[in-house]
Amino acid sequence: MKIIHFSDPHGGGPAEDWMAYFDKRWVGVFNYRFRRRFRHDLSKLQTAVEYILDVKPDAAVCTGDLTSAGQPGEFARVIEILKPLRNSKIPFIYTPGNHDCYVTRPQCVKAVKDAVEYLSHGVYTFEGMPLKLEVGEVDFLVVNTSAPSNLLCSWGFLTAENRDFIVKNCAEDNHERPRILVTHYPMIEEHPVLRVRHRLFGQKEVLKLMKNKQLDLVLCGHVHKPSLRVDEQGRGECISGSVTRNGTMMEIEYEKAARKFSFRTIGV
């Protein structure tokens, strides 16, 4: 089974209404205007979509941050690029990132909810997460760890509902189908103090499941540099990196007979 994993396109743009200057959106807009637009190239997302359509994997996974400030126009620009993938027969799994769930403004909340439902063909909704999706030879556990936070932080939270859902679905030690967690935030944080403004909270139980091999693989984004933290069987955590900044995706092969994952970084 082949899975292609990409993340963090960070499409951006100007403030879309005057209230953006009175909530956190001004941080995202300022960041995009003076930094992200010089670092993130959306043409690489276009190339990534073309590659995925050509390769025809069994599933494509996007682990969030389609946008820079969660504005409707930003979602529209990125979704237009993703539309050929969404309209293909390739199962497409998307979970929001912290920049997609940036503020509580009604139009921005509606935009991320619409994005989840549109990209999944209505198979699931924003409110319908967490959920399990059986695709091919694996089970995907899809959770949303993103929510609006304060002005200076990009925190994520694994809520009690999400934690209990993951623990329940990983209850059996011996499982025939591998379990893959799809989330924006990495579960493994090697520098919790240095990255306190950008980290996830509440993942202690999930780390135990990973250590005990009850949870096989975590696909995540948030960190823009790609990295793999896996054992000899490919079990652990995969960060694909930002597709528009580093021009990277991860191609993952699951060999059922060997019960093994292998990885290949794809440059776009």
Tell me which residue has tokens 């090697």: 190
- Give the residue from 44, 146, 129, 137 showing the smallest Cα distance to 91: 137
- How confident is the model over 146-161, as pLDDT tens digits? 999 999 899 999 999 9
- Give the residue from 169, 215, 160 showing the smallest Cα distance to 188: 215
pLDDT-derived band at 89, boundaries 50, 70, 90? very high
Distance from C-alpha of 148 to C-alpha of 105, rounded to nearest angstrom: 10
Q: Residue 172: what pLDDT?
A: 80
Give the percent of the chain with pLDDT over 90. 95
Q: Residue 144: what pLDDT?
A: 98
pLDDT-derived band at 64, boundaries 50, 70, 90? very high
Distance from C-alpha of 199 to C-alpha of 17, rounded to nearest angstrom: 30
Measured from the Cβ of residue 33, the count of other Cβ atoms closer than 10 Å reads 15
Q: Residue 267: what pLDDT?
A: 96
Structure-token pair, residue 193: 């103090």
Distance from C-alpha of 96 to C-alpha of 100, rounded to nearest angstrom: 6
Distance from C-alpha of 180 to C-alpha of 217, rounded to nearest angstrom: 5
pLDDT-derived band at 174, boundaries 50, 70, 90? confident
CB contact at 8 A, 199 and 193: no
101-129 average pLDDT score: 98
Q: Residue 119: what pLDDT?
A: 98
Write the Ramachandran bin of 44: left for phi over 0, alpha for psi from -120 to 50, otherwise beta: alpha
116-141 average pLDDT score: 97
Each domain of the chain, given as residue ranges in start order, spans 2-267
74-85 average pLDDT score: 98
| Res 63 pLDDT > 80 | yes
Strand, helix or coil for residue 176: coil
| Res 173 pLDDT > 80 | no
Which CATH class, in words, describes the domain spanning 2-267?
Answer: alpha beta
Tell me which residue has tokens 């002005």: 151
User: Bigger pLDDT: 192 or 30?
Assistant: 30
Average pLDDT, rounded, for the chain:
96
- Give the residue from 115, 120, 125, 129 showing the smallest Cα distance to 60: 120
Measured from the Cβ of residue 150, the count of other Cβ atoms closer than 10 Å reads 9
Measured from the Cβ of residue 28, the count of other Cβ atoms closer than 10 Å reads 25
Distance from C-alpha of 254 to C-alpha of 2, rounded to nearest angstrom: 6
Distance from C-alpha of 202 to C-alpha of 147, rounded to nearest angstrom: 14
Distance from C-alpha of 155 to C-alpha of 185, rounded to nearest angstrom: 9
73-84 average pLDDT score: 98
pLDDT-derived band at 239, boundaries 50, 70, 90? very high
Q: Residue 191: what pLDDT?
A: 84
Q: Residue 60: what pLDDT?
A: 98
- How confident is the model over 179-228, as pLDDT tens digits? 999 999 999 998 888 889 999 999 999 999 999 999 999 999 999 999 99
pTM of the entire structure? 0.97
- Give the residue from 221, 218, 250, 241 showing the smallest Cα distance to 231: 218
